[in-house]
Amino acid sequence: MGDYHFVYKDVEGATTQWDDIQRKLGNLPPKDPVFKPDPFTPGDDEKSRSKDKDWIDEKTEEELDDLEDDPDLNDDRFLQEYRMKRMAEMREVAKVVRFGSVVPISGSDFVREVSQAPEDIWVVVLLYKDGYSGCQILLQCLEELATKYPVTKFVKIISTDCIPNYPDSNLPTVLVYNNGALKSNYVGLHSFGRRCTPEGVALTLCASDPVLNHPVLNEGQSRDAVLDGVRKRFLEKVVAQHEDDDGSSSD
pLDDT tens-place string over residues 67-89: 666 666 656 666 677 777 777 76
Within a domain: 185: yes
Q: What is the 3-state secondary structure (H, E, C) of the chain?
A: CCCCCCCCCCCCCCCCHHHHHHHHCCCCCCCCCCCCCCCCCCCCCCCCCCCCHHHHHCCCHHHHHHHCCCHHHHCHHHHHHHHHHHHHHHHHHHHHCCCCCEEECCHHHHHHHHHCCCCCCEEEEEEECCCCHHHHHHHHHHHHHHHHCCCCEEEEEEHHHHCCCCCHHHCCEEEEEECCEEEEEEECHHHHCCCCCHHHHHHHHCCCCCCCCCCCCCCCCHHHHHHHHHHHHHHHHHHHHHHHHHHHHCC
Instruction: Compute the average pLDDT of residues 192-221.
Output: 79
pTM greater than 0.95: no
User: What percent of the chain is predicted at pLDDT more than 70?
Assistant: 61
Instruction: Compute the average pLDDT of residues 109-123.
Output: 93
Within a domain: 149: yes
Tell me which of 148 and 136 has the higher pLDDT. 136
- Predicted pLDDT at 48: 45
Within a domain: 62: no
Within a domain: 178: yes
Within a domain: 19: no
pLDDT tens-place string over residues 156-185: 999 999 999 999 999 999 999 999 999 999
Within a domain: 70: no
pLDDT tens-place string over residues 20-69: 777 777 777 777 776 666 665 555 444 445 555 666 666 665 666 666 66
Instruction: Compute the average pLDDT of residues 112-132.
Output: 94
What range does the domain containing 188 cover? 97-212
Within a domain: 201: yes
Q: How many domains does the chain have?
A: 1
User: What CATH code is carried by the domain that includes residue 143?
Assistant: 3.40.30.10
- Predicted pLDDT at 158: 98
Within a domain: 111: yes
